[in-house]
Amino acid sequence: MRRLGRGICIIVILSLVFFAFGCAKKKIEQAGEVTPPSEQKEVGPPSEMGMNMPGAEGGVQATPQGGAQGSAVSADIAAFEKDDIFFDYDKASIRPDDRKILSQKAAFLNAHPQMNVKIEGYCDERGTSEYNLALGERRAKAAQDYLVFLGIKPDRVSIVSYGEENPLDPGHNEEAWAKNRRAHFVITE
């Protein structure tokens, strides 16, 4: 009798696991209230923006506001979107070297209050798709929390997780995986 009860419990648990993880991949998008990250207390002053570097892809281009000024803003947006932050394996905490990049992004967003940002969270190919979607969301959320901690209003920052989809480097080694564990930033209107 006991074996029958255990067998039924196992079948029920396996059914729930299959149901929970057997669904199609979904993009997770969210924006809203956040609290400051408790583990990242020290923040230095934002340094020089260095945002006149050309050559980034994607995002929203600024409407030209008069020749050189419009192209300078476009170059600044391109540079903003070019700099990703990276994460250690199976982690979603902001690394000390990436805090400077986030400080620069916060300074840029403070200088351009009409612009919003979407943070895309990515993972390497290891792990299940569902796990990687959740980890990508935690990574994007960590970057969002840090920007809010630096003074950016939460309603200006949205997040989305792509998990292991759209890898930056399609390789199957540690070098490629390190490039794919990232948060990417896109200016939105």
Q: Does the domain spanning 25-188 belong to CATH 3.30.1330.60? A: yes
Residue 75 falls in which region: left (phi positive, over 0), alpha (psi -120 to 50) or beta = alpha
**pLDDT given for residue 2 in this prediction:** 60
Of residues 28, 32, 33, 35, the one with CA closest to residue 146 = 35
What's the confidence (pLDDT) of residue 150? 97
pLDDT of residue 73: 82
pLDDT of residue 162: 96
Beta strands in the chain (DSSP E): 28-31, 85-86, 116-122, 157-163, 182-188
Rounded to whole angstroms, how far apart are CA atoms 93 and 98?
10
Q: Is the pTM of this model over 0.75?
A: no
Would you list the domain boundaries of the chain? Answer: 25-188
Q: What is the pLDDT along the chain (189 residues), one digit of tens a residue?
A: 566 556 565 665 645 444 444 444 444 444 443 334 444 433 333 333 333 333 333 444 444 444 556 677 888 899 999 999 999 999 999 999 999 999 999 999 999 999 999 999 999 999 999 999 999 999 999 999 999 999 999 999 999 999 999 999 999 999 999 999 999 999 997
pLDDT value at residue 189: 76
